[in-house]
Structures are given as structure tokens and as C-alpha cells.
A and B are shown apart, each in its own frame.
Chain A
Amino acid sequence: EAAVTQSPRNKVAVTGGKVTLSCNQTNNHNNMYWYRQDTGHGLRLIHYSYGAGSTEKGDIPDGYKASRPSQENFSLILELATPSQTSVYFCASGEHRDTQYFGPGTRLLVL
């Protein structure tokens, strides 16, 4: 079974602060993804990665950076958090032409 973990699971941040969300997968998948989920919008892709050292912009990358230092780890970075970035964030991993496996999600509240 796929294993994708996220930390922290819940985070409260202040406006203008820096937030780092971490994702780890033990499936040895090349591809990893960051999504946000908001009511009325479903899942929207923020950044993704083909492998260690690569990051690509998804559909809504503004205000976010990503880092893939290794096969297993993929981070989402909010350099200057804003209240509009309050959301639930999901990480996923997958292989080419296979399904994606999702982590448990991180609830982020920016005050």
C-alpha cells in the first residue's frame, strides 16, 4: 500500500510569516504533487515534481514555492503567508500512467 505522510497535520500561522509544509513518501515514486482543497473548488494543483531536484508550476502557483531535495521528500513553502492561503493542503505521489496516492492532508489557518 502506498505510504504518503505529511507534517504538520495542523498549522496556525500569522500573516507575513513563513510556512513550510513537508511531505514524505516511501513508495519510491518519481512524481510528487501539492494540491489545495477549498470548498467549491475541489482539488487544485499548486506545484509538482518529476524527481529529485525538479519542481514545476501547477495551475495555481502564485504565492508558493516548492522544493524536492530527494526522491522521498517534497516541501511546499509559503514565504509570506496570507489569509487567502488558509486551506487544506494535500501531497500526493505517483508513477507514470499510474494513479496518485494521497497523504492525509494539512489544515493551514493563516491569521
Chain B
Amino acid sequence: AQKVTQTQTSISVMEKTTVTMDCVYETRDSSYFLFWYKQTASGEIVFLIRQDSYKKENATEGHYSLNFQKPKSSIGLIITATQIEDSAVYFCAMRMNTEGADRLTFGKGTQLIIQP
């Protein structure tokens, strides 16, 4: 069975610094996809970035990047030059490479607080 674990329940950092949020996963599949989502204070859930397991390069998207360590089953989210608006809950999710509807397994989330 798939499992996604985010051990950090809450992180607080100063504005304009870099923060890393951890995520480890369990799967028996050789091919899978990893996602990070952001949930704002209003409740909106927004897709941020993805990593396909067969790609060796770490994905980047704006001031978001990933630290993909496949041997450790780890996919960390790095946010550089943090802004107040980055304060939110961040979810890691994994999807297996199967046919049909793609099911996501989510971690429980990490709350990020950006202090001015």
C-alpha cells in the first residue's frame, strides 16, 4: 500500500529566507509521480510542482524546487526567497503509474508560517 508521510506539522521562518519541507513516501511501484500542493488560508488548494520518478533532474517552478532523493524515497519542497503570501499548508502527494483514474495519496500537510 502507498503511504506519504510529512513529519513536520508546522514550520516558522523569517521572510526572504529559504525553507525546506520534508516528505517521504512508500511504494512498491517502479514508476510513480509526486506532487506538492498548497492550501491557502481561504481553503483553496493549488497545484505547485511535480516530479516524475523516472526523471533524474529535480523539478523547478518559479521559486519552488524539489529535492528528489529516490534511494531515500524522499521528495522535499524548497521555497527560496519566501514571502508572506507563502504562508499556507503544504501537502505532498503520490500517484501510481496505473491506467484509468489516477488516485492520489496525500500526506497530512505541513503548515508554513512566514514571519515579517
B47 touches A50 (CB 8 A): no
When the two chains form the complex, which single residue of A42, A44, A90, A96 contacts B102, counting CB atoms closer than 8 Å? A96
Q: Which of A50, A101, A102 contacts B101 (CB 8 A)?
A: A50
Q: Residues 77-111 of chain A: 1 if any B CB is under 8 Å from the residue's CB, otherwise 0?
A: 00000000000101000101111111011000000
CB neighbours (8 Å) of B108 from chain A are 40-42
0/1 string, B31-72, CB within 8 A of A gives 1:
001010100000111110010000000000000000000000
Query: B25 interface residue, CB < 8 Å from A?
Result: no
CB neighbours (8 Å) of A33 from chain B are: 101, 104
A24 contacts B by Cβ under 8 Å: no
* Assembly CA distance A44 to B109 (angstroms): 12
Q: Which residues of B contact A48 (CB under 8 A)?
A: 101, 103
Distance in angstroms between the alpha carbons of A98 and B97 in the assembled complex: 11
Partner of A42, one of B33, B97, B107: B107
- By a CB distance below 8 angstroms, the chain A residues around B97 are 97
Contact call B109/A42, Cβ cutoff below 8 A: yes
Question: Once the chains bind, are B106 and A56 in contact (CB under 8 Å)?
Answer: no
Chain A contributes a number of interface residues (CB within 8 A of B) equal to 26
Chain B CB within 10 A, most for which of A45, A56, A97 = A97
Shortest Cβ distance from residue B50 to the other chain A in the assembled complex, whole angstroms? 6
In the assembly, what is the distance between CA of A99 and CA of B108, in Å? 18
Q: Given B50, B99, B106, which contacts A43 in the complex, CB threshold below 8 Å?
A: B106
Query: A31: CB under 8 A from chain B?
Result: yes
Q: Would you mind naming 15 contact pairs between A and B with Cβ atoms under 8 Å apart?
A: A30-B101, A31-B101, A40-B108, A42-B91, A42-B107, A42-B109, A43-B106, A50-B100, A56-B101, A58-B103, A97-B33, A100-B47, A100-B102, A104-B44, A105-B43
* Besides A42-B91, A48-B101, A90-B45, 5 other A-B contacts (C-beta < 8 A): A44-B106, A56-B101, A94-B102, A97-B33, A102-B45
